[in-house]
Structure 1
Amino acid sequence: MIVVTTPTGDIGRQVVANLLDAGAPVRVIVRDPSKLSDDLRARVEVVQGSHADVEVVNRAFSGANAVFWLVPPDPHADSLEAAYVDFTRPAAAALKTRGGKRVVCISALGRTTPFAGKAGHVTGSLAMADLIASTGIALRTLTLPAFMDNMARRAGAIKSQGLFSSPISGDLKQPTCATRDIAAVAARWLLDESWSGQENVAVLGPEDLSFNDMAEIMSEVLGKPVRFEQVTLEEYKAQFLRFGFSEAMAQGMTDMMDAKSQGLDLGVPRTSENTTPTSFRQWCEDILKPAVLG
């Protein structure tokens, strides 16, 4: 049995699909089972509730062979520690007592850089991974850069204004990856029963791109001009506060982008093993173009 958290999220739902396609038995933890399709509910075992709840994770992990762990976003959390580490404490305890031989968890790049200690959400994510590792369980931590799919959330501005923004320089080339590739890597590790020990597994996408590079590619794919605009860190934080983020979570986003602008995501050399196939151009054709022009 493989347990999947966040089965309705961008990554989790694709992990579930990959596991089911491989014929694996899947148990999901979900707050609201109605968000699962009827077909999916018929094919998985459902444990209702939050995976921050002691009783829920004890029930879900019982007899499990592997767990896919992803902490959901909490824009209203009082602190990064609460959002990542405290959320994960019940699961860490359950892994020791209730079962689970292997865990694949979602975290971030940056551990090997000087910026990891003040990188906002990345710092919280690394501390979460450390907590899971402290249980001694066999662990593969997927360390990730920014997601291409985050650009889909800007489809409205790209459609109406031909514009997207960030506090990171438009000329800084960085890795970026597609969530479908993350899900494929996660499913491969979850299905493989031969591994042990603890390792970080980077998922870097096929190439490093700057935001100016992305704007050029989007312009070509969409057939309309798209430009990048750099904003200040103060403007970036204010945007999240307007969205209703707590002070701590908005500052966490800002600190993360500040660290990325200094090279947080550039500490892992690209290899054939950590290079995933979906290019930004292909992602734009498949995902962004329908969202903007559809």
Structure 2
Amino acid sequence: MTDLAIAANGLRKSYGDKTVLDGIDLAVAEGTVFALLGPNGAGKTTAVKILSTLITADAGQARVGGHDLTANPQAVRAAIGVTGQFSAVDGLITGEENMLLMADLHHLPKPEGRRVAAELLERFDLTAAAKKPASTYSGGMKRRLDIAMTLVGSPRIIFLDEPTTGLDPRSRHTMWQIIRELVTGGVTVFLTTQYLEEADQLADRIAVLNNGKIAAEGTAEQLKRLVPGGHVRLRFTDPTAYRTATHTLPTATGDNESLTLQIPSGATQHELRTLLDHLHTTGIEADELTVHTPDLDDVFFALTDTAHIPHQPTEATR
């Protein structure tokens, strides 16, 4: 079984009479991307701050990088890197100077610090801008520099708190590629994000945090199966074929203008085979068949709408 980079049990945190985290459990395998989703104020950043030793939990236990969070916080700090919502880049100095400052903070010898800084600046395509003040960098460049600075200490676990907020689509995709490359190199990434596509693209496992609790956890595909709305869509150009299909598929919803039928389906292999067999047996020829499944937007809205939260998943998402 893959070892856990992060293991937390019963984490609680309150500020006054407001409970931010209400006993959450987390298990993040080494060398994976774990995404924590949730609306504003759900407690995502609080969870990151606790796990990165910036604040202490009111209750619960956690191990990060194999080290107990309370008993050995220094060892935890040595194993992790953190990139927060707001850039740690100093705009008054150059990109290279930012990197060398981080090398000094990690107590690297001067020659090694310069070597590491140069390698990371090249890796993140920042060599040409290295001698320029960081204040002149674009948003995407600053974010790349921010992560490069995080990597100076060669952390095996990186916390990325909404790393692509405010970036344009091209810069966001560049960041995604950087994250994938980090994981390929064996780094574990704990990601918080409000971009559902980002979690869908990157995460091996996703947890949805709502009202201080984990509403659901699993792979993207497992979470998508928690909400209704999956269907198969058949499109016809022959009105006769459309009418025949309408009569032989009683569960279908038809659109007479576009000659399309929508058939509720979980889109499993068995359901699709059954439908295709039926169409073949009855001689119905659709011009187009498309499968539609709920996306993470549907999951997010369902799980964070307190009036319509599905039954808490158990084994299916563990």
- Work out whether the TM-score is over 0.5: no
Question: Which is richer in strand?
Answer: 2
- What is the TM-score normalised by the length of structure 1? 0.28
Higher helix share: 1
Q: Which one has the largest radius of gyration? A: 2
